[in-house]
Amino acid sequence: MRICLLFLVFIFQPLFGQGRNYGRSMVISKQGIAATSQTLASQAAAQILARGGSAVDAAIAANAVLGLVEPMMDGVGGDVFAMYWDAKSGKLTGLNGSGPAPRGLSPKFLAEKGVKTMPRDGIHSVTVPGAVDGWAKMHQRFGKLPWKDLFQSAIAYAEEGFPVTEAIVEEWSLPGTVKKLKVNGESERVFLATGKPPLEGDLFRNPDLARVYRLLAEKGPDAFYKGEIAAAILKTSQKLGGTVTADDLASYSSEFVTPISVDYRGWRVYELPPNGQGMAALEMLNIMETSPASMFGPFSPAEMHKRIEAMKLAYSDLRRYDADPRTYDVPVGVLLSKEYARKRAALIDPGKANCEVPAGQPVAGDTTYLTVVDKDGNIASWIQSVSNLFGSGVTVEGMGFVLHDRGAGFTLDPKHPNVLAGGKRPFHTIIPAFMEKGDLHVGFGIMGGMNQPLAHAQFVSNIVDYGMNLQAALEAPRFTKRSSTGCDLSIEMRVPAQTLQQLSARGHQINIRREYTQEMGRGQAILHDSKTGINYAASDPRTDGSAVPEPIR
C-alpha cells in the first residue's frame, strides 16, 4: 500500500517542481506572447504586441504571415474560427468564419456532371472563403491598431522572400501534394516555380500574394469579397466551370457564436458549436471522466485504452449528428450531458478494443493553429485552414493563394443532415479551444483534420489528470485515428513498449510512428494567470514554430 501511495504522489505532483522530462522550456513573461507554428509569424505577432496591438491584432498579423510561409496549410482562401477571452470582463466570445457552398452547387448539379461522391479537390470542392471577413469582424470588435498596419510583415516577407523551413518542406514535397499542384497551371507556376518543391533553406517569394495583402491593407475586406480579389476568384472559378457567383462572395458574413463547454474534473473546457467538430472533444472528455484517471500514468495500457475507446464513441456521434445548425437542430445539449456520457462509457470493454462503434441515440477535417496573449491578459485562440494540403489545388489567377476544399466536408447522402446544399456550411474540422479554472486561463489548439478533438482531449487530460505544464502536455506522446470505426490507430514510438504490447493484446491494430510526427497535429498553448499577471506559452516540437514574447520597447 505504501508503494502505491508514493506512486500516486509522484504521478499527480505538477511537473513544475520535477526534473524536466520534456524537450523545450515554456516561455514565461509579464508581457504578451505569441505562439504559432512558424517563428517568423510568432515574431511578427510579438512586434504588433510591442506596438500596443491587442491579441487579435497580433493574431491577424501572424495569420497573414502563416498564409505565406505555410501556403499548403492556410491562407486567405480558407476559413477561420476563433475565441477571444477578455481579461477585464472574463467573457469568452466565439467566431465562426466558415463559408457556405455556392448557391449553384448541389447534388443535382454534381450528378449531371457524373459526380457520385463529394469531390475532395478541384473547383467543385470550393466553398466561400471566410477567413478575411472573420479577421475583419474580430478586428472591428477587439482590435486596437489600424487594420492597414497588420499586414506589413507579411507583405515584406512575400516580396523579399523567406527561407523555407523543415516541417513545411516535408509537407510541400509529398508526392501527392506535388501531383495536386501540377493539375492546375497557376498552382504549378506559383508553388513549383522551378518545377519542383523548394528545399530546406531555399528562398521562396510570392509577389502575387504581396499584392493581395496590399489590397487588403489599403481597401479592407471589400477588396476580397467585392473588389479586385473577388473578380480574380470569379474569373478563376468560371474558367474551371465552377459555380461561385459575385453574390456568393458579396453576401458572405461570418458570425459571432456562443462557445459550448463541459466541466472536466473542476476545469471548464470550451469549444465552438457545430458546424465544427469541437463537441467531439467535449463528449470524449465526458466519457473519460466517468472513471478515474489511471494512477499508473497517461501512457499506461488502461488509460490509453480508455482514451482510444472514448474517442471512437464520441466520433461516431460526431459523424452522425454534426451539421450546419442553421439547417439542422444538432442535439448538442444531450450529446454533452453527463447522463449520456455514462451510457456511452458503459459500452467500453476494458479488456477489448471495439472495432465497430455505432452512433448513439441522443434524441427520441490540414490547418494552422495559433494563440496570442497581450500584456493585459486578453487571449486569442485562433485556427485557420485551407483544409487538405494546398486545399482544392486551385490557385486564384494572379493572386498567389489557393482556394480551400471545405466542400469535401459535405456528403451527397440525401438522408444525412450534412448533405450538400447551396448556401449551407459544411461539416468543419478546425477548432480553437479554451479552458479555465480559477485564476488560470488557457487558450490552446492542436491542428490536423479529424485528429483535433482527440488531441484536445489528450492535452486536457495531461494537464488536469497528470499535472503536466503546457509544454509537457503538448510534447507528450499522442495517438491519432481518423475514423470512429475499425481498430487501427497510430501511436508515437515514445509510448512504452509494454503499453503498445498490451494494447495490441486488447485488439488494437497499432501503427508505430516516429518520436514526433506531424500526423499527431501541431499544437500551441498559452496560459494567463490572472492573479499574478504572468503569461506562460508552449509550442509543439512537431512543427517549425515557437512562442515569442513581446519585446520591451
- Contact in structure between 388 and 69 (CB atoms under 8 Å): no
Beta bridge mates, 33: 373, 549
What angle, 0 to 180 degrees and rounded to 10, lies between the N-to-C axes of helices 152-160 and 39-50?
140
Beta-carbon neighbour count of residue 349 at 10 Å? 11
- Contact in structure between 275 and 425 (CB atoms under 8 Å): yes
Per annotation, catalytic residue among 236, 367, 411, 499: 367
Residue 289 and residue 286: Cα distance in Å, rounded?
5
Residue 463 and residue 460: Cα distance in Å, rounded?
5
- Contact in structure between 365 and 97 (CB atoms under 8 Å): no
User: In the numeric block, which cell numbers belong to residue 310?
Assistant: 472514448
Q: Which residue shows C-alpha cell 490540414?
A: 366
> Burial, 517: exposed, middle or buried (Cβ in 10 Å; 0-12, 13-18, 19+)?
middle
Residue 81 and residue 100: Cα distance in Å, rounded?
14
- Contact in structure between 198 and 387 (CB atoms under 8 Å): no
- Contact in structure between 380 and 56 (CB atoms under 8 Å): yes
Residue 123: CA atoms inside 13 Å, Cβ hemisphere, count? 17
Q: Quick check: is 411 catalytic?
A: no
- Smallest CA-to-CA distance from 287 within 356, 357, 197, 385 is with 357
Query: Looking at the annotation, which residues are catalytic?
Result: 367
